[in-house]
Amino acid sequence: MQAFLSNESIEQIHRTSMRLLENVGVEFPYQAAVTTFKKHGVKTAGSRVYLTEAQLLKALATVPRQFTIHARNPERNVIVGGGRPVFAPAYGAPFLVDAAPPAGGASPAAGAPSAAGVTGKRTPTMADYHNLVKLAHALPNQDLSGYLIVEPGDVDADTAHVQMLHAHMVHSDKPFIGSTAGKRGAQHTMEMARILFGEDPAGQAVCISLINSLTPLGYSSEMLEALVEFATVRQPLVIAALAMAGSTGPVTLAGVLTLQNAELLAGVALTQLISPGTPVVYGSTSTNIDMRSGALALGSPELAQMIAAHAQLARFYKLPSRSGGALTDASFPDAQAGFESMMALLTTVNSGIDFVLHAGGILTSYLAFSYEKFVLDDEMCGMVRRLHEGIVVDPETLAYDVIANVGPGGNFLVEMHTVKRCRTEFWKPNLCDRTGLEAWMQGGQRSAVDRARQRWQKLVAAHADPPLDAATVRQLQAFVEKHTA
């Protein structure tokens, strides 16, 4: 695994974080949270909470190292913290980038270059949202269907969460992410989950939800409302920070790691004081800003360093981790998007990160989403996942007898050893072109973006909702109608 921090560096970050927690404190502007801390002997002053190292470590000791998120189709259950990275789509993009089709709306004639480009950004619609949930369901490397993949702009913001949750429950049987739109969003998530699963899910993880800190050293009341609701019924939470080095965090990466560590651990502690054993993931999306513009820099090597260091700190505290993804500053799924996303995703997996949000679709530093990039990123996830699996070495794979039988100057293509494994031994791409130059030219010189557009359109067109009993469908629809009227 990649490592940028020595053991001594980790200890220094830990000790400095403990000083911040005890002497500076963290803001929790929600009375239920403050009351919980007080109940367990934690010092408070108004909404400021001051944890000692002993109090913190006692709380962390009850966090499970791994847990299962249950899907309505048990074959889709996922284990977080089990050694295999869990991939989920982008989260929270307010804009969509549409890639224009080649001239004429179809693949160009043989010998003519592709004219794919960008038509500009637009606000996503609920129709887009339904398409993206269907796509998340179809893509083979997305383990969750997600939530808030984009922010639909044509529905009431106060009730959009109900419609989005409904889309995930109906269009996919993969696990989903819950709403953290305050107390109401969390309650609606659990009410709909009870309809979907047909029982009280308390004690069984039926979703996972994202709680973002308010850097530096604080949380919003909306996020705390959701945290308390989900922790009360022991539903998994990702507690994550986005500190921007040089802006909302110190300009040094060590300073950012220390700052976010303090605020994250305080949030994790709260979940355990509410309900010991609540599954919680220690998360980071922190990176630097571009000091020339002040813009977030997701395509920076510093992001990769932060991902790897965050994974080391998670292991130090024996917590499941979340970071990274297919992240880029590019505004179109071009070469820049490709190499930046691969740097981030490969670092994520090689560092041992457990839960990977933004594993598909993100452009423009979290601000935009692309259908085409979603499909391209899923291909990348498959490639990186295969790399993560490593090489199996045993008597069968060492193939001594086969090598001895073929001997010097021979060929292994028709050997039974090859025939038996030719369909399973190697990773097979869905989008990558391996046809060769002549075939590619004769086939219309289609770019990766052209191929991705064709693939997502086919997948969405072919979608059929996974089976769900009629009574559950009616109850979910009735819930949506009641809360969006």
d(CA 102, CA 99): 9
Confidence of residue 120 (pLDDT cuts 50, 70, 90): confident
Residues in the chain: 485
d(CA 32, CA 121): 41
Measured between its terminal Cα atoms, the distance across the chain in Å is 51
Among residues 148, 167, 175, 205, the alpha carbon closest in space to that of 86 is found at: 175
Q: Which residues lie closer than 8 Å to 400 by C-beta, 6 or more apart?
A: none
Confidence of residue 109 (pLDDT cuts 50, 70, 90): very low
Confidence of residue 257 (pLDDT cuts 50, 70, 90): very high
State both tokens at 456.
Answer: 């997502």
- 3 state DSSP class of 93: strand
- 3 state DSSP class of 308: helix
pLDDT at 10: 99
Among residues 314, 247, 318, the alpha carbon closest in space to that of 286 is found at: 247
Task: Please report, as a single letter, which amino acid is at residue 318.
Answer: K
Q: Which residues lie closer than 8 Å to 470 by C-beta, 6 or more apart?
A: none
Q: Which residues lie closer than 8 Å to 396 by C-beta, 6 or more apart?
A: none
pLDDT at 115: 43
d(CA 263, CA 383): 34
Contact 37, 273 (CB under 8 A): yes
Among residues 310, 323, 203, the alpha carbon closest in space to that of 256 is found at: 310
d(CA 77, CA 144): 9
DSSP state string for 47-69: TEEE--HHHHHHHHTTS-S-EEE
Write the pLDDT tens digit of every residue in 186-233. Answer: 999 999 999 999 877 666 999 999 999 999 999 999 999 999 999 999
Among residues 196, 197, 181, 266, the alpha carbon closest in space to that of 230 is found at: 181
d(CA 387, CA 290): 31
Is pLDDT of 348 > 50? yes
- CA dist 434 to 31, 109, 337, 438, Å? 59, 20, 21, 11
Among residues 200, 322, 207, the alpha carbon closest in space to that of 267 is found at: 322
**What percent of the chain is helix, strand and coil (3-state, nearest 5)?**
45, 15, 40
What are residue 464's phi and psi, to 5 degrees? -130, 130
Q: Which residues lie closer than 8 Å to 208 by C-beta, 6 or more apart?
A: 69, 80, 144, 175, 177, 178, 235, 236, 237, 238, 279, 281, 355
Confidence of residue 434 (pLDDT cuts 50, 70, 90): very high
Buried b (16+ CB within 10 A) or exposed e, 354-374: bbbbbbbbbbbbbbbbbbbbb
Among residues 28, 29, 54, the alpha carbon closest in space to that of 41 is found at: 54
Write the pLDDT tens digit of every residue in 276-296. Answer: 999 999 999 999 999 999 999
Contact 351, 2 (CB under 8 A): yes
Contact 450, 102 (CB under 8 A): yes
Write the pLDDT tens digit of every residue in 58-96. Answer: 999 999 999 999 999 999 999 999 999 999 999 999 999
Q: Which residues lie closer than 8 Å to 199 by C-beta, 6 or more apart?
A: none
Buried b (16+ CB within 10 A) or exposed e, 215-233: bbbbbbbbbbbbbbbbbbb
Kindly state the DSSP code that residue 283 receives in the 8-state scheme.
E
Q: What is the pTM of this model?
A: 0.94
What are residue 96's phi and psi, to 5 degrees? -115, 140
pLDDT at 112: 37
Mean model confidence pLDDT for the chain = 95
d(CA 410, CA 325): 44
Among 39-53, 175-189, 423-437, the least confident range:
423-437
